[in-house]
Structures are given as C-alpha cells and as structure tokens.
C-alpha cells in the first residue's frame, strides 16, 4: 500500500536556492557545473 503525504507548502518558510546549495555535499555541488555560473 502506498501512503500519500500532503504538504502545505504555503506554510513552509522561504528558502533561497543559493542558500540551499551551500547545504549540499561538496561532491554533489561540484557536479552542478562551473561555480561562477551556478551561483548566478
């Protein structure tokens, strides 16, 4: 049986994409592309 989870995304705090990138493992971040283009 598969469970369905509903998330009220409007109730979640805003998180900037660039702030989130800093939380990723370095090996993952390094595969996103050239750093000078990723942070634009």
- Tell me the pLDDT tens digit for each residue of 1-34: 899 999 999 999 998 888 888 888 888 877 887 7
Question: Residue 38's pLDDT is what?
Answer: 64
For residue 8, the SS3 value is coil
Q: How far apart are the first and last CA of the chain?
A: 43
Name the nearest CA neighbour of 22 among 32, 10, 7: 32
Residue 15 confidence (pLDDT): 87
């Amino acid at each position: 049986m598969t469970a369905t989870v509903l998330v009220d995304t409007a109730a979640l705090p805003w998180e900037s994409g660039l702030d989130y990138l800093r939380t990723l493992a370095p090996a993952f971040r390094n595969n996103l592309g050239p750093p000078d283009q990723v942070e634009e």
